[in-house]
Amino acid sequence: MKLVAGNSNRPLAEAISAYLEVPLARCMVKRFADMEIFVEIGENVRGEDVFVIQSTSFPTNDHLMELLIITDALRRSSARRITAVVPYFGYARQDRKPGPRTPISAKLVANLMTNAGADRVLTLDLHAGQIQGFFDIPTDNLFAAPVMVRDIKERLDISNTAVVSPDVGGVVRARALAKRIDAPLAIVDKRRERPGESEVMNIIGDVSGRSCILIDDIIDSGGTLCNAAEALLAKGASEVYAYCTHAVLSGGAVSRIASSKLKELVVTDSIMPTEAVKVAPNIRTISIAPLIGEAIRRTASESSVSSLFD
């Protein structure tokens, strides 16, 4: 087994490497003066089972091209099998046509990864589960829920909590978490007036006197969670926490979260935390390196990955 890392999230790749006790293979990724990407694999990979660890986070296009070029270099170096380990799958929110003459970019990216030479894909908390069907190669969609459940049980009194979905579309995810910690479920019913803004309309479920845990897969602008926290507190919740897998946190999201009524936002390191995230008083990062490392180990040994979540 060989591990190859791109530049999108080097700390996570190093943590996975430490978990597996397998050193990262030498891989030089550099840019020419016109910003073209050049890749050179620094050791023999012929006949090897290679895992390329690369989130396609900001700058998305640069990191996606790095992944594709590394994959092509490995294929041309006669690697036996190439697995693209993509903790955060960029373009996942473009999984359907929201209007006429618009693309389905998630399908395009799936085609690019397949045509570049990837034999299988390992990803985490896809924004839409049906994206697995966009690939014509085996695709494992891991879940961060076990890591979050462990953290919740260690830090919170789950006897008086409620799990809250920030919108109707996230009910399945919230219900799964609520079942794991045996907590009631509530739903925030909101109406989005325009892209990037959200307006909370109503809370479905009883949250009075409870600690509320908002659960989502991606936090981008942070507006939805901040508005949901205010609505929950107005309905009598004692405190509000939020757990999100992918901390996109674009624009002024970090300052918005820091000044919000959220007691704490917990995110994973699927996207490398910025300095602003690291110093924010109410944002905490938990590592998914052991989860991904174990999935890589089981993939390499041809054993069950799904049993990780039983």
- What tens-digit pLDDT sequence spans the chain (310 residues)? 999 999 999 999 999 999 999 999 999 999 999 999 999 999 999 999 999 999 999 999 999 999 999 999 999 999 999 999 999 999 999 999 999 999 999 999 999 999 999 999 999 999 988 999 999 999 999 999 999 999 999 999 889 999 999 988 899 999 999 999 999 999 998 765 666 665 657 899 999 999 999 999 999 999 889 989 999 999 999 999 999 999 999 989 999 999 999 999 999 999 999 999 999 999 999 999 999 999 999 999 999 999 888 7
Buried b or exposed e, range 255-265, using 16+ CB within 10 angstroms: ebbbebbbebb
**Ligand-binding site membership of 17 (annotated):** no
d(CA 85, CA 295): 10
pLDDT of residue 224: 87
Asked whether this chain's domains 2-142+290-309 and 145-287 adopt the same fold, the reply is: yes
Q: Which of 60, 58, 50 is nearest to 24 (CA)?
A: 50
**Ligand-binding site membership of 93 (annotated):** yes
pLDDT of residue 167: 86
73: Cα within 13 Å, side-chain hemisphere = 23
The fold of the 2-142+290-309 domain, in CATH, is Rossmann fold (3.40.50)
**Ligand-binding site membership of 63 (annotated):** no
Known catalytic residue: 190?
Answer: yes
Annotated catalytic residue: which of 2, 30, 179, 190?
190
pLDDT of residue 274: 94
* 186 three-state secondary structure: strand
For residue 161, CA distances in Å to 88, 183, 187 come to 29, 6, 14
What is the pTM for the complete model shown? Answer: 0.92
**Ligand-binding site membership of 192 (annotated):** yes
d(CA 285, CA 283): 7
Cα maximum dimension of the chain:
61
d(CA 25, CA 296): 15
Paired strand residues for 22: none
d(CA 179, CA 202): 23
**Ligand-binding site membership of 216 (annotated):** yes
CATH number of the 145-287 domain: 3.40.50.2020
pLDDT of residue 70: 98
**Ligand-binding site membership of 94 (annotated):** yes
pLDDT of residue 195: 63
d(CA 227, CA 288): 27
Domain regions of the chain by residue span:
2-142+290-309, 145-287
For residue 170, CA distances in Å to 100, 110, 128, 214, 216 come to 25, 23, 10, 10, 7
d(CA 94, CA 216): 17
pLDDT of residue 192: 59
Q: Are strands 27-31 and 37-41 parallel, antiparallel or unpaired?
A: antiparallel
Q: Hunting for tokens 């579309």 — which residue is that?
A: 169
Q: How many residues does the chain have?
A: 310
**Ligand-binding site membership of 224 (annotated):** yes
Long-range contacts at 166-169 (CB < 8 A, ≥ 24 apart):
166/190, 166/214, 166/215, 166/216, 166/224, 166/225, 166/228, 167/224
